[in-house]
Structure 1
Amino acid sequence: MTDRRQAGLDVVAKMLSPEVAKALDGAARSPEFGAFIGELALRNVFSELWTRPGLDLRSRSLVTLSILIALRASDELEVHLLVALRNGLSLSEIEEVIYHASGYAGFPAASVARTTALTVFRKHKLVES
């Protein structure tokens, strides 16, 4: 295993969980349809982007949330809302990202992000129902 790949696995373990890192590590060997997508995420996103110098994980989470909100990528946003909390963002900061996105990505995108965030945060008992 290369040092870059291991660095990517370490980032995944820290931001998501050791179990997710292990699953991504074995993705390329899986016969399951489309399983290689996990390997691509590991190589191209976590090993090459999240480990780069220049931005800390907290800053990368801010950028990632903003992009996912603009794309209305709710499934990925669900994951990255929790990643953002692990990377040091507070609930109120995430709330502000959603508000700010309304001015640049549009109200509908921010509204979808708010709904997604409420669902995730309620599920994990981070906000009241």
Structure 2
Amino acid sequence: MTKTELFEKGLKVRKEVLGEDYVNKSIAGADEFTRTMAEWSTEFCWGALWTRPGVDRRTRSIVNLAMLGALNRPHELKLHVKGALKNGLTKEEIKEILLQIAVYCGVPAGIDAFRNAREAFNEVDAAGS
């Protein structure tokens, strides 16, 4: 598969999980400095990894939430909470993942994860109104 094919596959999945508006704004906002990273993440994270057949999107969302919370990456966590909801996770399931982060990665990481998830839930709820 060529780079272009992987990028296009990744772009499709990225839009399905994160939302077309978000992805379009992200791509439009890329400049000379950030464009390579935006293309690379779309090609490899979304095109090469998220399209693999071994794990479904719901499971990938669970893994991402755990890793992003453990690494204390609030922007990406918030974004992936919204994606996890689209991939079929419930708020209750997300809460359980975040509790596990608190136990295994520390309460401060868990508190930040809960704060960011709540913000994501509020934004999703507001958009649905």
TM-score range, shorter chain: 0.7 to 0.9
Higher RCO, Cα 8 Å, sep 6+: 2
Q: Which runs of 5+ in 1 are unaligned?
A: none
Matches of 1:123 and 1:20 in 2, distance apart? 13
Equivalent pair of 1:24/1:42 in contact (CA under 8 Å): no
Percent identity between matched residues is: 33
The 1:43/1:103 distance shift into structure 2, 3 A limit, reads: same
CA-based RMSD: 2.2
Q: Secondary structure at the match of 2:49?
A: coil
Q: 2:78 & 2:123 partners in 1: Cα distance? A: 11
The 3-state SS of whatever aligns with 2:55 is coil
TM-score normalised by the chain length of structure 1: 0.83
Counterpart in the other structure of 1:114: 114
Amino acid at match of 1:60: R
Partner of 2:85: 85
Match for residue 16 of structure 1 among 15, 18, 27? 18
Structure 1 counterpart of 2:99 = 99
Cα distance in 2 for residues equivalent to 1:21 and 1:51: 17
1:43 alignment partner in structure 2: 43
Task: Count the aligned residue pairs.
Answer: 124
Corresponding letter in the other structure for 2:63: V
Question: Are the aligned partners of 1:12 and 1:46 in contact in 2 as well (CA < 8 Å)?
Answer: yes
| Equivalent AA in structure 2 for residue 4 of structure 1 | L
Offset at residue 42 of structure 1 (A)? 0.7
Higher helix share: 2
- TM-score under structure 2 length normalisation: 0.83
Structure 2 unaligned runs (5+)?
none
Mean Cα deviation higher: 62-71 or 97-106: 97-106
Which amino acid in the other structure matches residue 12 of structure 2? D
